[in-house]
Amino acid sequence: MGLPQPRPMAAAPQGSRPTPVATRPRLFDYLFLFLGIGVSALLADVGGLRAIPSQIDVSAFVASFARIFPFLLFLPLGIVLFWPMFYFNQKLLGRQRELTSGEWLLGLAWLVGLLYSIWLLWRGLGTLPEFMSSSDFKNGVLMGYVIFMASMGGLAFLLYVIGLIGRWVLPWTHTFGLALLLWPLAPLGLWWLSGMKLE
């Protein structure tokens, strides 16, 4: 009596999409991450944003938080600017999956962050047109960007909850992008609780 022959595996139907494969960050991704943090520190300093405690006599923690608040708020900005590098690095390694909802959201943040960074650097060089150099214009741009970051953080949280329910296999840039967009909510929340003023 012979051994049973294994059944041949059914061929995948033509035109079907390949099963998504989880990706992971590589060496150059980490290098771009650290470079982005450095860019964030530069943009936070060039931006000239200051957090002023509401009281003169404050604790050492509040005073330290006020000094580093601009960097904490803009921490994701420099990293987001390198979002195309994170994506194209995956493409070079054979990624076939299309952009996820979180990556599309990160792409929108990249576009707005790029325009805001150009304005910050332009302003830091002191060559802005007169109407763009006023304090009112600066405060309007800053508040618009803060509102944008808060809105993106809310959308990122919603996508994260949906991802927990769906449990799909997603590239690392999806979850990483959601974390970048969620981060500004933390310093903004502490700023709101502390009652500090922004200048």
pLDDT by residue (tens digit) across 109-129? 999 999 999 988 888 777 777
Q: How far apart are CA 167 and CA 20, in angstroms?
A: 13
What pLDDT is attached to residue 120?
A: 86
More confident residue, 76 or 195: 76
What pLDDT is attached to residue 19?
A: 52
More confident residue, 172 or 133: 172
Cα radius of gyration (the chain): 22
Judge whether residue 46 has pLDDT over 80.
yes
Residue 132 token pair: 């763009």
Q: Whole-model pTM? A: 0.82
Judge whether residue 1 has pLDDT over 60.
no
pLDDT by residue (tens digit) across 10-32? 444 555 555 555 578 889 999 99
Judge whether residue 33 has pLDDT over 90.
yes
What pLDDT is attached to residue 72?
A: 92
Packed helices 172-182 and 135-166: angle between N→C axes, nearest 10 degrees: 140
Question: How high is the mean pLDDT of the chain?
Answer: 84
What pLDDT is attached to residue 153?
A: 94
Mean pLDDT over residues 49-72, rounded?
84
What pLDDT is attached to residue 143?
A: 86
Residue 60: which residues within 8 A CB-CB, separation 6 or more?
A: none
Judge whether residue 57 has pLDDT over 60.
yes
What pLDDT is attached to residue 6?
A: 46
What pLDDT is attached to residue 158?
A: 94
Residues 46/71, Cβ–Cβ less than 8 Å: no
Residues 78/101, Cβ–Cβ less than 8 Å: no
More confident residue, 40 or 6: 40
What pLDDT is attached to residue 173?
A: 92
